[in-house]
Amino acid sequence: MKIVGVTACTAGIAHTYIVKEKLEQAARKLGYTCRIETQGSIGIEEQLTPEEIQEADVIILAIDVKISGENRFKGKPVVRMSTEKAMKNTGAMLQSIEEALTKKKTEGIKIMGGLKLSEIKKHVMTGISFMIPIVVGAGLCMALGTAIGGTKVSEAEGTLIWYIWRTGKIGMGFVVPVITAAIAYSIADRPAIAPGLILGSIASEIYTGFIGGIIAAFLVGYTVLFLKKYLKVPKTMQGLVPVLILPFLTTLICGALMFAVIGKPVAFVINALQNWLIGLQGGSKFILGAIVGGMCGVDFGGPIGKTASLFANGLLVDGIYGPEAVKLVTCMIPPVGVTLSYILTRNKYTKAEKEAVKAAFPMGICMITEGVIPLAMNDPLRVIGSSVIATSIAGGLTMVLGIENYVTAGGWFIIPLSNKPMMMAAMVALGGVIMGVILSLWKKVVTEDDSMDFGMEQENGESTTEGMTFENF
């Protein structure tokens, strides 16, 4: 079987390349040929050629976001899945695809119509992938300005540091319009971009914030799709549909709905949430931090962690920075914890696990948690269990201590830009020690001859198509 495919995750950093490696590794073991293109944070790498696409038996799209150039695969058998799906039982998954190709049928494989949860997730993740660079760039400017100019930097108008801080402040104002436009684009392509930007700006204007922007995005996207399907125009005007008619009508309809119907209830809910978070004290703060932290530490960049990250990012955009600090701290704890455990108890790690640890730590200091996934797949109970305990404790303490962070990513390198850098560093260290000690005590001793083929287990087990969509089979 000849396989080509594309991998793309939300941030375009870790999952994109881990999945590529797993697919290619599993294919080699099964005797298949496999070439994977990545669409990561630095753009398209190892781009597939038209000849490779034409000769392929199947196209695998392991993607969490909308990708470029998907029309290249028109008419070819396409299998869609999340990056999370592609990393689990990769060999068995490839065998399921071969079975479907061989039998020329799709028993139990359905292309569902309508609004699916997986589709909603993909659209939101696409929006987040567009949003992250803005939040990072703007957040760094704000953090640098605050670190140098202090809490009263906003009053130092005309100074160089004020210009830096103000640049970041203005940049943050683009977050909601951009995520709205990106989600709308993911749903309905280019005609939805302009209305998305406008509706995102309206969401900011009427104080519906991050959540309001997401709601507006879906309103715009599906309005465009509805109009595409049912709006009939003369042939002489068809060229105007994507550049004039669709953007104008969508903006008109959705703008009115946002102002008159949707905006006020959403703004009320957002305001109530903000007041509740601001009013949290003591034990309540600890519980919130523990929940966000535990979620970040349970699946190492997976859907649960991304949900917590989305929550923290939304609050950051709305001017609440505590949960963002929790996210930063707890995303770095698992790589630090497994590294410390390895140092303490090397005899409890296989050769493959040792190699995984070497990759996990440098990724971890950059806040890329996915390097822990191979270890978690090998020993899920102990790795995930110790991680959740450590991240929950550190997350709760981070909230109670009033640590704030203004940037969504950056790892150790942006700790100096937080409001309490020494305390933040101490929380990462504390969480790492807790996880490292628990994991060291909990983990079983293994022999040097033990080996682990991460993600390849159950190659010969029962095939499953759950979480996969087959097209043109």
Q: Give me the catalytic one of 9, 254, 296, 331.
A: 9
Q: List Cβ neighbours of 260 (8 Å cut-off, separation of 6 or more).
A: none
N residues, the chain: 473
Structure tokens at 342: 């390895």
Best CA proximity match to 139, nearest among 405, 413, 407:
407
| Listed residue (11, 18, 14, 10) closest to 90, CA to CA | 18
In sequence order, the 6+-apart residues with CB closer than 8 A to the CB of 305 are 295, 296, 297, 298, 299, 331, 369
Respond yes or no: is residue 296 known to be catalytic.
no
* Bridge-based pairing state of the strands 78-81 and 469-471: antiparallel
> 453 φ, ψ to 5°?
-100, 85
Cα dihedral across residues 99, 100, 103, 107: positive or negative:
positive
Which residues are annotated as catalytic? 9
